[in-house]
Each structure stands twice: as structure tokens, then as C-alpha cells.
Chain A
Amino acid sequence: MLARHRIAPRFAGFALLGLACLAMVFSGCDFSFHRDVHLYLEAPFPHKLSAWHLFTVARGRLTPNARVLPYDLNTPLFSDYADKYRFVWMPPGNSAEYREDVPFEFPVGTIFAKSFAFPADGQPGEERLIETRLLIRTRSRWVPLPYIWNASQTEATLQLVPDPVPIRYTDAAGRARDFTYQIPNTNECRECHDNNKSLQPIGPKARNLNKDFSYSDGAANQLARWTAVGYLRGAPVPAAAPHAAKWSEPSSGSLDERARAYLDNNCAHCHQPGGTAGYTGVDFRLGHFDPAGFGVCKHPNSAGNMGDRRYDLVPGHPDDSILVYRLESTAPKIMMPQIGRAVVHTEGVALLREWVTALQGGACGLATPR
């Protein structure tokens, strides 16, 4: 069964719709003039991303359709320096219920769309879309759907097990990037998104959304905007809501706050009770700091060869800390996160090195700390 929610076109009648269809036929491109999002709540889900009518695309740029709201996060997950474009949509008349500490309670029919893009090689200012991950709140559960963009950037297709993509470009700072980008398969989506075997959104929490966003009509706080457009109910005024530091901006928080925000968004989705790495006993959630739970002087319990280091985290000694070692690696098994990263996040590592160096507590008794 196909469930379709349509927002009644406010300005376009059937005539215009007909024109749009005609245009589709001639252009061969499905990303055309649809004004209304199509929602699919049950399998089979559409093979083409365009069938959802979430946005239009031109030269690697996504333009959201009506009521498809862009957003971003204070401190995002690092993904090989990909640029990410996040959008949310909810069926008319539906809103998410505010939660202070965990992702909001989203209504059935919520669509999250997160697109990953890299600079197009040799085309300054241009970007190449690689994938768009949809997360759909169906009646029973969240469903992840990876759509992979074609080379001509006109369409993305649903692939359960996407092929790796070679990425090569020179970034704005002149650094050459050349690596293989691994797109998670739908099981791998669950590696990060599962908690107690139930797939959940990760990013859209109050502390992460509580920031200004440059909307097309000007900057506004996201919690306020979500409330204003009817996507969020029960939220306090932004000043009264939690607020995570922006990992890269010292003005946004102390070293500890920025490092903890980084760990919260890059590690805690697995490293928390019920998460994929819950069994390790390590918990990186913001607001939790039990030394053993943070790996302080703790043996990892299922790590492999970690460069002759003994403990997850040795206060004051990043070069003795397995946490840093794993972030500096791209080797499977050694690196963290275990999936979704092929490049070292140099700036993130620098932040955590600084943080570990500043931590107090002694060198876990190591005779010759590095």
C-alpha cells in the first residue's frame, strides 16, 4: 500500500500540475516543478529520490520545496569533510514534541533528508552530490533509505548496499584529498542509529538545534523557527533550552565544553547505554562524566592492537590515550568511529589532544608516560 500525503498546492491548479508533468516528460528529469512533498510510509519505497518531491536540484545544489525546512547542528558528526545539507519535513498539522535531552518525539510521517556533497574536482565553487540519506518515521519505526546520486547529478536512486565512491579534490585551503568514500548500507545505518535495537534519529536534539540558521528570509534561531512553522511544540524559549558548544569555535564554549560536544556527536551515539558500543561500558554522552565511563585509566575490553597503549584515556597524555590513537587512524578495526570515516579529522583530533592534555588526574600510574 502506498500512502501519499499531499499538501494542496496553494498557488497551482491542475493546469500547472499538468504543465509540470509535461515538462517532466520532455526534460527526462523528475526533479521539476512539484510543489508538494510525497510521503511513502510503507515498502516498497520509491526507487528514485525525486519521487519524494523534497527538493529540486541544479548543478549539485538542492533547493527545498515548500515546507521542507533546512537546518544544521552546533556540532555535527564528522564525515570525511563532506558538506552536509539537512532538511526536515512533517505532514501538515503534525509537530514534534520537545525533549530536553534526547531527540524530539517526531510524528509519523516525519522525513529527515541529509545530503552529502564534496567539492567537484577542478570546478571551484561547484559541488558534487554523493548521497542523500532519508530517515522516515513510519507508523511502526524509523526507516533509513540511502539514495545515491548519479554522475550527471540529475537523480539519486535507492541502493541498499551502495558502492564505494572515489573522491578526489583540492579543498579551499589547497589540501589535496584523495580517498574512497564508503556509503553505509542500511544495516550500517543502524550501527549508529540503533538504541536498544530501535532505530532513532541522532542529530535533532535541543542542544544541537539551539542555534541561528540563515534562512532565505534571514537568520533565526532554529528552535524558534521550528516552533513558528508548526514543527515543534513544547519548546522553551531558546535561551532556556540546552545549548551545545560548537566544537570549532572557542567563543562558543570552554575547551571542555567543545571537546565534550565533539564526543557527544561523534561517539556517543554508539557509546551510551543501549547503543552499539553500550556493552563496552563507555558512555560519552554530554552531561555524563564518570571517569571509568569515559575510559579514564580503563582498559578497552575488545580493542585490537592499539599501538602499545594501555588505557582508553590517560589524563594529560594524549600519546598514551587509545581514544586519540583511534581517531588518528583510518585502519579498519583500529579507527573510531568504526564506519563512516576514511579521512582523519585533523582539527577534531587537535581539539581532543588539547582536551586530553588539559585533563587532570595523573598518568594512570604509567611508569614512562609519553
Chain B
Amino acid sequence: MRRIALPLCALLLAGAACSCRQTPADIQKHLQEQLITAKPGAVIELPEGKFHFDRTLSLTVDKVTLRGKGMDKTILSFAGQKEGAQGLLVKANDFTIEDIAVEDSAGDALTIQGGTNIIVRRVRAEWTRGANPANGPYAIYPVECKNLLVEDSVARGAADAGIYVGQSENVVIRRNRSEYNVDGYEIENSENVDAYDNIATHNTGGMGVFNLPNLPRQGGKHVRVFHNQIVDNNTPNFAPVSLGPIHDLPSGTGIYVMAIKDVEVFGNKIQNNNTVNVFLIHYDTGVGDSLRETASSPITQQVFAPGDKRYYPFLQQVYLHGNDISGGGKSADSRIAVMKAMADALGGSLPDILYDGRVDPAWPKKGANPGDICLGNNGAASFLNFDAAGGMKHPVRDVKNYTCALPALSAVSIPSLAAASPANGTSAP
């Protein structure tokens, strides 16, 4: 491996030698040059210090490691960014970034696009002013990646999701902390994902697992969410309206699972999320309702109804078991009228597990639970199928028809990281 010590060397060591006194512009230029001229196999080491950048830093060379001295010691600050939409933008394979912070970028803090074999380790991505609609949408934003590991990282302040994974496959997200974002974690249009031992707290919503239409990669599935702490996600929603559905995410959502199949949620602590701890929904409930004003427009119907022929909006084969779910639903977000109205109709609070009950008439399986929404051993968690399709006329509180089990999903295997996932991520107590 080739190691490169950045000529940042003494640069911020208080101008010890005149020859080493570099301006922020020099540092920016040197680091960008290093990223451009790096050879595959290079390890670029960044010293301690806070370094200022006013345009996007980018990397396109494969097999590069970018390493700092710690997420609180080596800080790439993009405060006052003048050009570029991202902080750090990576379009390369076999990329590792570790022990670095990315702060206050204009848009997404760390974007990794289209890479295979990607490791994000002990990275902090943050907007230091806290929750603000003008913050970038995503803190850690890998999209269209394969064989991706995000671990021991921290995300704060994102106006959409702190840690996002989109249109990706073979993904492990573990031991991260995501807080004070609109959404703590988003797993979108992705396949074969393990998210475990993470903390999601003080976000608007803790975690979303879902598929959306009109994106190139469709058919996300096979997601395991286990041993996470998804607690106290009650921050008021600060997403701008242009962020679409996420703008309508109720404050106080624990985990929501939407328009996807093969999802196993187990051994999590999901507590004190004030609107609803667990929200199991069809696309129309999560997104469509926020767009219901659009129904009158023929062209919109074309876009949102059958527009994307590849998109399947129903939820099915979700197994929620062995979770510690409590203390949620006590004060639904009054900003989201439909949730508030439902809570009022139910005497002021929502149950722990809320399911919209939308089923596809085309499913061959009939009966009370054709979508295989299975609940098992979730303690005293309360349940409601609120019958969204039937105008909430026939709600079902009895969990009996949903007490079932599904085969455990297999652990994610990342070939380049043989030990990425526990050998057997089976059910928790």
C-alpha cells in the first residue's frame, strides 16, 4: 500500500515555519490535487485539525483510503461553501473513509455514487447549527453502491436522512448513531441490507425502510433491522417542502416500513416515539396521502398511479418479532392531520404498531392476512389495522390474525468483508 502524508503537515501547527504556512485555499487545492493524482492503493492520511473548503472535494480513483485522526480531530469544514452541491463526492470503487468529520456542507455531506466495496467507518457528518431546513438533505449518502459497510459513524442535522442507503445492494449499517435529523436512517430501493446495533434518537423519525417509484433501481427487498435502539424520535419535522414525502413524515415516528417485501424487524428497542413506534404502510398511506391534492390532475395520476410500471406499492412479508416496543403514540404530530385525527378518534393516542391494512386484491392468498404481516412476541405492544382502504370503517385491534412467523431472512454477506455481519443474526430474546 502506498501511503501519502498530506503536505498539510505543519500547515496549521501555528505557522511554525514560514515556508509551511498555507492558506485554506492552498490546503484545499493540495488535497484536491492529491485526490486527483492518487494511484490505486493510495492511503491519504489527514492530520488533526479543522480544514476549510469552499468547493466540493471529489475522488474518482479506485482503491483509495482517506483517513483522518478521528471524527473529532480531523474536520473537513465546508462552512460558507461557494461551489458544488456536496462536501465530499466519491465516485470510485474499493473506497474507504475513516476517522474524519465532514461539517456544514451546502448539500449532502458525504456522497458516494456508484461504488463497489465501500467502507465508511468512524465518520461524523454534521451540520453544526443543528436542525435547519437549509441544511443539506443527507449526511452520509451512498447511492447505487454494492458491498457497502457503514459503521461506527455519526450523523446529525440532515434535512432528510442522517444515514441513507439508496438503490444499493449488499449493505451493512451497524453501530452508528444518527440524531437530530429529519429521518435517522433511510433504506430506499435497496436489496440485501442488514441494519443492526444502531442508535436513532432525537430525529423526526428513527428509520424508514421503503421503496419509491420513478427511480432507476426498483424492487428493493430483503432487509433486516435488528438490535437497534429507536427511541425518542420526536424532533419537529424541519424538512423543506421540496424534499417531498419526507416533509410529511410525522414527528414521533419510530420505524416505518413502506411498499416493500421481505423485511425482518427483531430485537429492537423501539420506544417513546410520540406519534407511532411502528408504522407499516402502503405507498398511498405514506406518500399518496401527502399528495392527495394531486389526484384531480390527470397528468399527476399518470405519474403517481400507473406511471412507473415497475413500481409495486404494497407492503408484504414483514416479520416483526421479539422487539421491545413501548411508550409510543402518546401525542401524535398535530401537523399531520390524518394522524392527529386518527389519534383523536382513538381517544388521544395511537397504538404501538399501526398497520394500514391495504392488500392487493390480486394476491393469490386470501383471508385475514394475505400480505403476511407477521407479529410475534413483541411484549405488550398494542396493535391496530386502521383499514385505510376502507376509509377506516373496519379497524382491527385484535392481533390474532397477525400472530404468525415467517422464515428468518439470511444475513447479508459482503464478499470483501467476510466478517461484516454476525454469523447468525437470529432472533433476539
Which residues on A are within 8 Å of B, measured CB to CB?
160-161, 163, 180, 182, 185-188, 190-191, 194, 197, 273, 276, 278-281, 291-293, 296-310, 315, 322, 331-333, 338-339, 342, 361-367
How many angstroms from the CA of A296 to the CA of B303 in the assembled complex? 8
How many angstroms from the CA of A363 to the CA of B297 in the assembled complex? 7
Does B7 interact with chain A (Cβ within 8 Å)? no
Centre residue among B113, B214, B302 by max chain A CB count within 10 A: B214
Does B144 interact with chain A (Cβ within 8 Å)? yes
Partner of B59, one of A187, A197, A361: A187
Given contacts A291-B302, A306-B240, contact A182 B107 (CB under 8 A): no
Structural contact, A279 and B303, CB atoms closer than 8 A: no
Q: In B168-194, which residues have CB < 8 Å from any A CB? A: none
Structural contact, B242 and A332, CB atoms closer than 8 A: no
A–B pairs, 30, beta carbons within 8 Å: A160-B37, A182-B55, A182-B82, A182-B83, A185-B36, A186-B36, A188-B56, A190-B91, A191-B58, A194-B91, A273-B216, A276-B113, A279-B113, A279-B215, A292-B308, A297-B303, A297-B304, A299-B245, A300-B243, A300-B244, A302-B137, A304-B137, A304-B240, A305-B134, A332-B55, A332-B82, A332-B84, A333-B81, A342-B83, A365-B291
Which residues on B are within 8 Å of A, measured CB to CB?
25, 29, 32-33, 35-37, 55-56, 58-60, 81-85, 91, 106-108, 113-114, 133-138, 141, 143-144, 159-160, 166-167, 212-217, 240-245, 291, 293-300, 302-304, 307-308
Contacts beyond the supplied A299-B242, A304-B137, A308-B240: 8 A-B pairs with Cβ under 8 Å: A182-B83, A186-B36, A187-B35, A279-B144, A292-B307, A304-B135, A304-B240, A365-B295
Given contacts A182-B55, A297-B303, contact A279 B167 (CB under 8 A): yes
Structural contact, B32 and A332, CB atoms closer than 8 A: no
A299 / chain B contacts, CB cutoff of 8 Å: 242-245
A332 / chain B contacts, CB cutoff of 8 Å: 55, 81-85, 106-107
How many angstroms from the CA of A302 to the CA of B245 in the assembled complex? 11
How many angstroms from the CA of A322 to the CA of B243 in the assembled complex? 11
How many angstroms from the CA of A188 to the CA of B36 in the assembled complex? 10
Closest beta carbon of chain B to A185's beta carbon, Å? 6
B144 / chain A contacts, CB cutoff of 8 Å: 279
Closest beta carbon of chain A to B6's beta carbon, Å? 14
Structural contact, A366 and B137, CB atoms closer than 8 A: no
Structural contact, B85 and A361, CB atoms closer than 8 A: no
Given contacts A281-B216, A361-B297, A363-B297, contact A306 B106 (CB under 8 A): no
Q: Which 4 A-B pairs have the closest CB atoms?
A: A299-B244, A306-B242, A365-B294, A361-B299
Residue in A closest to B28 when the chains form the complex, CB atoms = A161
Residue in B closest to A180 when the chains form the complex, CB atoms = B82
Closest beta carbon of chain B to A351's beta carbon, Å? 22
Structural contact, B242 and A322, CB atoms closer than 8 A: yes
B298 / chain A contacts, CB cutoff of 8 Å: 361-362
How many angstroms from the CA of A364 to the CA of B307 in the assembled complex? 14
Closest beta carbon of chain A to B200's beta carbon, Å? 20
Closest beta carbon of chain B to A141's beta carbon, Å? 12
Given contacts A182-B55, A322-B242, contact A367 B91 (CB under 8 A): no
Partner of A297, one of B135, B143, B294: B294
How many angstroms from the CA of A162 to the CA of B133 in the assembled complex? 33
Structural contact, B33 and A315, CB atoms closer than 8 A: no
A305 / chain B contacts, CB cutoff of 8 Å: 133-134, 159, 240, 242
B299 / chain A contacts, CB cutoff of 8 Å: 291, 296-297, 315, 361-362, 364
How many angstroms from the CA of A9 to the CA of B411 in the assembled complex? 68
Structural contact, A308 and B241, CB atoms closer than 8 A: yes
How many angstroms from the CA of A182 to the CA of B297 in the assembled complex? 42
Structural contact, B143 and A279, CB atoms closer than 8 A: yes
How many angstroms from the CA of A362 to the CA of B56 in the assembled complex? 38
Partner of B300, one of A194, A339, A364: A364
Residue in B closest to A366 when the chains form the complex, CB atoms = B293
Residue in A closest to B92 when the chains form the complex, CB atoms = A197
